Structure 1
Amino acid sequence: MRLSSMADYAVVTMSVAARHCGGARVSATELAEEAGLPLPTVQKLVSLLGRAGLLRSVRGAGGGLQLARPAAAITLADIVEAVEGPIALTACVQAGKHDCALEDNCTVRPHWGAVNEALRGALANVPLTQLAATPTAEPVRKVPA
């Protein structure tokens, strides 16, 4: 499984926004500059993330963008689903959204729901606070001679 570029960019954008949490509101232009992304891409993401209730736009003097809820209450699963829709490795688990030649005889289909829930659960265990944290250097591991 691989995230789409837009989902990846959404994670980067939300991480940048989280670093401003508690500070002044940030503009889409500032988010784009800090994330190293094109402004039109960030504007599209801001719209998607806003519709999902992850970002909030405040108008007027001192306006800008801010997280719609605390960074600790936003997960990687929330961000991915805001851009990609429900997390599903196969289309057969979504009602009316499958066209599979094996559908009538598939013995694996009943299990995909559990697999998808496990994947979503893993992504839901990664809070935005972790994604926004400045990485620390990991200790160098010595390779045995």
Structure 2
Amino acid sequence: MLRITKITDYGFILLAHMAKAEKDQLHNAKDLSAAIGIPLPTVSKVLKILTQGHILKSHQGSKGGYSLSKTADQITAAEIIEAVEGPVAITDCSSAEGCERNCPISPSWQRVNDAVLGALNGLTLGDMADGGSK
């Protein structure tokens, strides 16, 4: 079963909230935690991961916070998942590195993985923040 972790799910929720705000608005962990109802330590952890993955930019200072690194329509679901979880691969043999076994199944899994990755690349944060109505 292909599953997204709770941390990745929280990342999508936080990013969608940020995408709906004014374009250049900065967000801090405390306000995001209160607005969305996710515990502050978890919000802080997710913001750090998304910053390391270049989905968010961190702004230092007393009026600092976080902002999207690009517009919501330029950030794909695949980029978000990869920032938190690493490369999208539904099985070991569908990853770019492949697996240890040299079997005839691998090309089929790679085709399935390519289809999933294509769908994730075709879905933007902007789409998701709008509830998929685009």
Counterparts of 2:128 and 2:34, CA distance in 1: 18
How much identity, in percent, do the aligned residues show? 35
Of the three residues 109, 118, 131, the one matched with 2:128 is 131
1:35 to partner: Cα distance: 2.1
1:7 aligns with 2:4: no
TM-score (normalizing by structure 2) = 0.86
| CA-to-aligned-CA distance 1:89-112 (integer Å, 9 cap, x gap) | 10123437x46xxx35x3211222
TM-score (normalizing by structure 1) = 0.80
Structure 2 counterparts to residues 97-136 of structure 1, below 5 A: 98=99, 103-104=101-102, 106-133=103-130
1:65 aligns with 2:50: no
1:135 to partner: Cα distance: 7.5
Counterparts of 2:114 and 2:92, CA distance in 1: 14
Structure 1 spans left out of the alignment, 5+ residues: 137-145
Distance 1:21 1:108, change over 3 A: farther
Counterparts of 2:22 and 2:121, CA distance in 1: 20
SS of alignment partner, residue 11 of structure 1: helix
1:134 to partner: Cα distance: 5.6
Instruction: Flag as ranges the 4+ runs of structure 1 deviating above 6 A.
Output: none
User: Which of 1 and 2 has greater Rg?
Assistant: 1
Give the counterpart letter for 2:31 in structure 1.
E
